[in-house]
Amino acid sequence: MADTVLRYVRGNTYLKNLPKAPEGGNAKPAHGLVGELWVGGICFDTLERMDGYVKMEGGQDYANSTMYWHSKYNSYVLNPWLGKDAEQTKKKNILFHPAAVPSHLEGCVGVGFLEGGKLTTSRESFVLIWKLAGGGVGNTKQVLTVTIRVEGSMPALASCAAWAG
């Protein structure tokens, strides 16, 4: 049986939020590139952390990627297969996981629906993606193999427009 192919399409707009400042420090704005994740004909909105974090290369298929339950997020997540070295060190790992604003991400991608400048229904979106990819309802032990197709490269912040949603 062929893997499910998830199309991740990068856009050219960004969202910005200012996270809570650490005690005695200043917070830097966090920027998230707005994009789309297409699964089985359904389009989800995405935010991918910009600001120099690790990223996937555009124009590439990430075969042997996995989807599984992650207790830290209390949600299903997508883990792109970045290659043997990245997987062994975990220093450059990327996850698609629940998030609302760019500061909730560190090189990762949040999935949901953009409303009022935030991703909403993120965990619910991952449940639907899980089902569309062939996961068993409520199964937190199963691991699915998928292919993530990345379309478009990460643009420079200066070449993007602020999201006007």
Q: What is the pLDDT at residue 41?
A: 93
Beta bridge partners of 147: 5
Backbone angles phi, psi at 26, to 5 degrees: -115, 145
User: Considering its fold, how many domains does the chain have in total?
Assistant: 1
What is the domain range of residue 75?
A: 4-162
Q: What is the mean pLDDT of the chain?
A: 91
Rounded to whole angstroms, how far apart are CA atoms 161 and 33?
A: 10
Which of 4, 114, 105, 118 minimizes the C-alpha distance to 55? 105
Q: What is the pLDDT of residues 92-109, one digit of tens each?
A: 679 999 999 999 998 899
Q: According to the model, what pLDDT value does residue 1 have?
A: 43
Query: What pTM does this model have?
Result: 0.91
pLDDT category of residue 25 using cuts at 50, 70 and 90: confident
Strands (E), the chain: 4-17, 30-39, 42-49, 60-70, 75-79, 96-97, 109-115, 118-120, 144-151, 161-162
Give yes or no for residue 91 having a pLDDT over 70: no
Which is more confidently placed, 52 or 98?
Answer: 98
* Closest-CA residue to 31 (of 52, 10, 5): 52
The per-residue pLDDT for range 102-155, each reduced to its tens digit, is 999 988 999 999 999 999 999 999 999 999 999 998 999 999 999 999 999 999
